[in-house]
């Protein structure tokens, strides 16, 4: 879509943003533009510009009676018991850790040690669309945040970044995630929210997420 | 109020209806038009406020059903998509920035994007797909809605004026893309022109629109 030589080259990106917002692109170009929004802040800003310019057209979508689907939506967002954090934490730990836990239990029974530091705050971040689940545990005495990731890693040239959001809504980066388990250092308080965003390689160039936020969750005691 | 106008009519044909609504005595004070209740609800969603999700559903679901029905032309799929959209709103509420646009615009952008995703997936599976509702969809004046503020009415008139400056067939094509998610290929077929011609037309139309709207 960059073959129209009669156009100012500076316009190419902005027009691509317009074409993306309008839905003019075919499936492949659409997909490429969508991925670019996630990792290219300048392009995302151009997309936002067109969304704002064309937003008055939303008035042409009439309101229609909506069926009550709240129960289904809440069931997807807030899965019922067993408490998601604990169940997820064990499931996400994997077989190796499970064996280690059994061994630890044997050792514990034989020689009761000082209790190892366990997460005092946990959260489960789920992006159902991607099939990504992150189990986040906060260990305050070690100023550590441990993340267990299951699901696909980001496409080449991008990375998952973990954020803490304070009660005032201000985000701060905790760091970038690796495949499997990642240990980050940071202090996270009760009442804060954690979020994961998709960012360009190296992480967000801004002090806030620039890519899409894939999931957020409130930290809770296990 | 719900006077139907065919989609194929250029936007200026609905101008009179909209102007009529705009000059009606407006019940709200000017200050109330600055209030963005949807933005407040999104801010509560970002703090995991489940009650706010229920309030937002009551406020926004009718609009989103209308949007998704128009774009997907299928009630079952629209209702399925509605659930997906509310899941996304909950998960992404923390990224909403009220400085960058209104709450309802942000919600509609997420819903349109999701509908386009479904349309593109559908079209890449079944390469050829005609739109059965192509000539049925009507643009009707929605009347005062949650977002029908004086500010929005003013923006609406700008959009109508700027579309009016375009050749009518190109204005129609841009509207069909926005409201129904039609791609270059579908529009080229509908207007019986080569795809590259349609692309050149619309790119020029978009440049004119941008100049007019940013003026």
Query: ipTM, 2 decimals?
Result: 0.77
Task: Read off the pLDDT of residues A155-175 as tens digits, 9 standing for 90 and up.
Answer: 888 899 999 888 777 788 999
Of B88, B112, B106, B108, give the one whose Cα is nearest residue A77.
B88
Number of domains making up chain A: 2
**pLDDT: is B152 or A151 the higher one?**
A151
Q: What value does the CA radius of gyration of chain A take, rounded to a whole number of Å?
A: 22
CA distance A166 to chain B (A): 9
- Taking an 8 Å cut-off on Cβ atoms, the answer to whether A57 and B158 are in contact is no
Of A209, A74, A33, A21, give the one whose Cα is nearest residue B108.
A21
Task: Read off the pLDDT of residues A102-145 as tens digits, 9 standing for 90 and up.
Answer: 666 666 566 655 666 788 888 888 887 788 889 999 988 888 89
Q: What is the pLDDT of residue A170?
A: 77
Average pLDDT over residues A6-28: 87
**pLDDT: is B123 or B141 the higher one?**
B123
Reduced to 3 states (helix: H, G, I; strand: E, B; else coil), residue A109 is helix
- Look up the domain containing A15 and give its range: 9-60
Token pair listed for A181: 């388990």
Q: What is the pLDDT of residue A25?
A: 93
- Asked if the B16-24+149-215 domain carries CATH number 3.90.1150.10, the reply is no
Task: Read off the pLDDT of residues A205-220 as tens digits, 9 standing for 90 and up.
Answer: 888 888 788 888 888 8
pLDDT band at B78 (very low <50, low <70, confident <90, very high): very high
Is residue A193 one of the residues assigned to a domain?
A: yes
Task: Specify the pairing of strand A132-139 against strand A121-127.
Answer: antiparallel
pLDDT band at B124 (very low <50, low <70, confident <90, very high): low
Q: What is the pLDDT of residue A108?
A: 59
pLDDT band at A221 (very low <50, low <70, confident <90, very high): confident
Name A181's bridge partners. Answer: A148
Chain A (42-101) residues lying within 8 Å, Cβ to Cβ, of chain B: 48, 51-67, 69-70, 72-74, 76-78
- Chain B residue nearest residue A220, CA to CA: B48
Question: Is the domain of A97 the same as that of A46?
Answer: no
Task: Read off the pLDDT of residues B39-68 as tens digits, 9 standing for 90 and up.
Answer: 999 999 988 899 999 999 999 999 999 999
Task: Read off the pLDDT of residues B79-105 as tens digits, 9 standing for 90 and up.
Answer: 999 999 999 999 889 889 899 889 999
Question: Is the domain of A52 the same as that of A98?
Answer: no
Q: What percent of chain B has pLDDT above 70? A: 71
- Taking an 8 Å cut-off on Cβ atoms, the answer to whether A61 and B63 are in contact is yes
Angle at A211 between CA A88 and CA A201, to 5 degrees: 90
- Indicate the residue of B79, B177, B214 with minimum beta-carbon distance to A24: B177
Is residue A3 one of the residues assigned to a domain?
A: no
Residues in chain B: 215
CA distance B59 to chain A (A): 10
Is residue A69 one of the residues assigned to a domain?
A: no
Residue A179 · residue A194 · CB < 8 Å: no
Residue B64 · residue B115 · CB < 8 Å: no
Task: Read off the pLDDT of residues B170-188 as tens digits, 9 standing for 90 and up.
Answer: 999 999 999 999 999 999 9
Of B134, B145, B91, B88, give the one whose Cα is nearest residue B111.
B88
- Chain B residue nearest residue A63, CA to CA: B63
Q: Which of B59, B67, B109 to mutate to test the interface with A (most CBs of A within 10 A)?
A: B109
Residue B134: Cβ within 10 Å count:
15
A29 close contact with B: CB closer than 8 A: no
Sheet containing strand A144-150, edge to edge, reads A121-127, A132-139, A144-150, A181-185
Question: Is the domain of A92 the same as that of A149?
Answer: yes
pLDDT band at A193 (very low <50, low <70, confident <90, very high): confident
- Chain A residue nearest residue B48, CA to CA: A218
Angle at B142 between CA B140 and CA B145, to 5 degrees: 175
**Cα dihedral A138/A140/A145/A150 (nearest 10):** -30
- Taking an 8 Å cut-off on Cβ atoms, the answer to whether A30 and B120 are in contact is yes
A214 close contact with B: CB closer than 8 A: yes
Q: Flag whether pLDDT at B22 surpasses 80.
A: no
- Taking an 8 Å cut-off on Cβ atoms, the answer to whether A73 and B83 are in contact is yes
Question: Is the domain of A95 the same as that of A202?
Answer: yes
**pLDDT: is B120 or B193 the higher one?**
B193
Q: What is the pLDDT of residue A6?
A: 61
What average pLDDT does chain B have? 78
- Taking an 8 Å cut-off on Cβ atoms, the answer to whether A62 and B112 are in contact is no
- Taking an 8 Å cut-off on Cβ atoms, the answer to whether A165 and B183 are in contact is no
Q: What is the pLDDT of residue B125?
A: 56
- pTM as predicted: 0.64
Find chain A residues with C-beta within 8 A of B63's C-beta: 58, 61, 63
Question: Is the domain of A130 the same as that of A173?
Answer: yes
Find chain B residues with C-beta within 8 A of A58's C-beta: 63, 67, 104-105, 108, 147
Q: Which fold has domain B34-141?
A: Rna Polymerase Sigma Factor; Chain: A (1.10.1740)
Question: Is the domain of A103 the same as that of A170?
Answer: yes
Of B163, B171, B207, give the one whose Cα is nearest residue A7.
B207
């Amino acid at each position: 879509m960059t073959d129209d030589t009669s156009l100012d080259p500076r316009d190419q990106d902005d027009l691509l943003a317009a074409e993306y917002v309008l839905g003019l692109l075919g499936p492949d170009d659409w997909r490429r533009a969508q991925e670019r929004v996630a990792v290219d802040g300048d392009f995302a800003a151009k997309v936002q510009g067109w969304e704002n310019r064309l937003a008055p057209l939303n008035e042409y979508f009439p309101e229609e009676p909506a069926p009550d689907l709240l129960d289904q939506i809440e069931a997807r967002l807030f899965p019922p018991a067993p408490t998601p954090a604990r169940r997820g934490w064990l499931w996400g730990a994997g077989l190796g850790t499970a064996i280690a836990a059994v061994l630890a239990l044997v050792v514990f029974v034989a020689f009761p040690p000082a209790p190892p530091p366990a997460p005092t705050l946990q959260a489960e971040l789920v992006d159902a669309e991607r099939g990504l689940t992150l189990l986040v545990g906060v260990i305050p005495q070690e100023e550590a945040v441990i993340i267990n990731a299951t699901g696909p890693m980001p496409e080449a040239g991008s990375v998952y970044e973990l954020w803490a959001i304070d009660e005032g809504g201000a985000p701060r980066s905790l760091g970038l995630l690796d495949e499997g388990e990642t240990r980050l250092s940071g202090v996270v308080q009760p009442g804060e929210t954690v979020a994961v965003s998709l960012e360009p390689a190296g992480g967000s160039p801004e002090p806030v997420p620039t890519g899409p936020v894939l999931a957020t969750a409130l930290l809770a005691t296990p | 109020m719900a006077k139907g106008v065919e989609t194929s009519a250029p936007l200026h044909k609905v101008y009179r209806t909209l102007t009529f609504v705009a000059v009606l005595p407006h019940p709200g004070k000017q200050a109330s038009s600055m209030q963005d209740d949807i933005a407040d609800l999104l801010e509560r969603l970002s703090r995991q406020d489940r009650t706010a999700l229920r309030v937002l559903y009551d406020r926004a679901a009718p609009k989103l059903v209308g949007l998704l029905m128009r774009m997907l032309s299928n009630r079952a799929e629209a209702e399925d998509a509605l659930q997906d959209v509310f899941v996304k709103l909950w998960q992404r509420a923390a990224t909403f920035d009220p400085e960058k646009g209104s709450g309802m615009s942000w919600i509609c952008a997420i819903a349109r994007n999701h509908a386009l995703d479904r349309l593109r997936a559908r079209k890449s599976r079944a390469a050829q797909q005609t739109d059965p509702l192509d000539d049925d969809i009507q643009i009707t004046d929605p009347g005062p809605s949650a977002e029908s503020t004086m500010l929005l009415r003013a923006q609406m008139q700008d959009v109508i004026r700027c579309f009016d400056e375009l050749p009518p067939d190109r204005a129609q094509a841009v509207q069909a893309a926005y409201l129904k998610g039609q791609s270059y290929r579908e529009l080229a077929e509908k207007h019986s022109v080569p795809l590259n011609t349609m692309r050149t037309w619309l790119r020029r139309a978009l440049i004119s629109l941008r100049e007019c709207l940013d003026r």
